[in-house]
Amino acid sequence: MAISSVDKYARQRSLEILRKKFASIAKRILEGKKPVLIMPKRVLSNTIYDMKKKLLLLGPEMKRRSLLDVNEARKFMQTLLMASIIYEALVNDEYPTIRDLYYRGKHTISYRDISGKLHHENTWDEQRESDAVIRDIEVFLGVLREEMLILSKEKGKVVGNLIIKSGDDVIDLSKMGHGAYAIEPTPDLIEFKDIDAEFVLVVEKDAVFQQLHRYGFWKKYKAILITSAGQPDRATRRFVRRLSEELKLPIYILTDADPYGWYIYSVFKIGSITLSYESERLATSNAKFIGVSMTDIFGEEEVAKNINKLASIFGKEIKKIISKHGKKAYLSEKERRNYIIKAKKKDVERAVELVGYDVADKLISNPEIKKYIRQKKLGVSGYPWFRTPEWIKEISIFFSKLAKLEIEAMASKGLKFLADTYIPAKIETGDWID
């Protein structure tokens, strides 16, 4: 089997780290000491928002996982079992998927208790359980699963004037025809060879990505065009981070104008709670949200209607959230009637999650929705990065209108409008949220 030199290096490095870290467990056993795994706690209470770095990071709290602790024995066993499976895959030049690892480790252990009664217990029952163990191993080793050549389904795609080396092959991403390069599950093993681009545009929707690609947007505006096809996977997030960090390209995110789209932007920029231990490698803190924003749809005159509500939150700071330019809407009243979609209660719940119940309660005026939110007892505190003047200005319009809009609506106004007016104007005028 022909294995690339890049894979060989990654395989050897991961094997060395695995041997070193788990040899210490074997040493403790040989010395008659309790076998213990010490690793950072992957829990919400140990996840912090670093205001300076603008990233979600894992806090300083550690946990001890001991084989002789009845509450931790099962997790200890699962961790060592998964580590041994990963080690064997590396030794045997294999490329397992996370689904493969789930099945390789799934089996039943039979034992008798003190009274002689026979019991049967599975190593794990569902994949989410084995996935959590893989994340624990990543934290314990300080190595991403991708670096251990564990694969996952490709999701993100990219096209543009960028030449890369993947494995032993050189690939020109400007010569993909009507298709695009699927971002591989091991983005750190990609080498950037040459690039001719001025910025990166990340599009939430794959359909809009395809439209912009066919239209030649990336050629005309010297852009690297990427789609996350919804919630971004780890590979896409890491690829975007590398483009920003190594090639110093500005990153712009284009999503639907709804709480789910805004959260997708947040994952790219700040990171996610589940993967907070890898935010410094996956999140792109300088990514900018260019739209679709609520002020793009309704203009800033809608903000003025919410001035009293906003003042109750920001006080004298209120003037800072009103644009000096008196921004006008990109859509006419007729277009708004045609394109906007009525927000569902789930959308409202997600918006409350973003800004916090205290802020949402002041901004929501619809009696039915206000009652619904109170009955749901959504006493959430919100995310600090969404509790800013610029974001609350946008979300105040969402709560006022209880409406959302998909990117496709901008394309329906005309692909030329989206590609040649809307996106360029947003970038050129600095009409974004950072």
**208 and 407 in contact (C-beta within 8 Å)?**
yes
| Token pair recorded at residue 161 | 């004037």
List of the chain residues with pLDDT < 50:
324
Same domain, 180 and 298: no
User: Residue 76's pLDDT is what?
Assistant: 87
Do both 9 and 138 map to the same domain? yes
Residue 319 lies in a domain: yes
Q: How far is CA 2 from CA 5, 6, 89, 168, in A?
A: 9, 12, 16, 10
Mark which of 148, 183, 210 sits at the end of a domain.
148
Residues 127 and 9 in one domain: yes
Assess whether 28 and 113 both reside in one domain: yes
Around Cβ 89, how many Cβ atoms within 10 Å?
20
**In angstroms, what CA-CA distances link 325 with 103, 222, 385, 424?**
58, 28, 24, 17
Quick one: tokens of 280? Answer: 């410094």
Tell me whether residue 425 is in a domain: no
158: preceding bond cis by omega (within 30 degrees): no
How many domains are contained in the chain?
3
User: What are the tokens at 4?
Assistant: 């690339």
- The answer on 300 and 238 residing in a single domain is no
Residue 22 sits in a domain whose CATH number is 1.10.10.10
Q: Examine residue 420 and state whether it is found in any structural domain, yes or no.
A: no
- Same domain flag for 162 and 110: no
Q: Give the type of residue at 181.
A: Y
CA-nearest of 251, 196, 194 to 228 is 251
In whole angstroms, give the CA distance from residue 172 to residue 136: 37
Q: What is the pLDDT of residue 279?
A: 66
Question: Does the residue 414 lie in any domain?
Answer: no
Q: What is the pLDDT of residue 144?
A: 86
User: What pLDDT does 47 receive?
Assistant: 76
pLDDT at residue 307, as a whole number: 63
Residue 175 lies in a domain: yes
CA distance 380 to 353: 6
Q: What is the pLDDT of residue 85?
A: 94
Q: 348 and 335 in one domain?
A: yes
Which pLDDT belongs to residue 276? Answer: 61
In a domain, 432, yes or no: no
From 130, 148, 166, the end of a domain falls on 148
Q: Please give the residue range of the domain that contains residue 29.
A: 5-148
Where a domain ends, among 88, 114, 148? 148
Nearest to 14 by CA among 81, 88, 99: 88
State whether 272 and 298 are in the same domain: no
Closest of 172, 17, 149 to residue 93, by C-alpha:
149
pLDDT score at 341: 86
Residue 39: beta bridge partners?
63
Establish if 416 belongs to a structural domain: no
374 and 394 part of one domain: yes
The model carries a pTM of: 0.83
At 167, which CATH number?
3.40.1360.10
Please name every residue paired with 405 in a beta bridge, in sequence order, or none if there are none. Answer: 257
124 and 220, same domain (yes or no): no
Question: 401 in a domain, yes or no?
Answer: yes
CB atoms within 10 A of CB 387: 17
Say how far apart CA 14 and CA 87 lie, in whole Å. 9
Residues taking part in catalysis: 103
Q: Are residues 195 and 117 in the same domain?
A: no
Query: Could you tell me if 286 and 310 lie in one domain?
Result: no
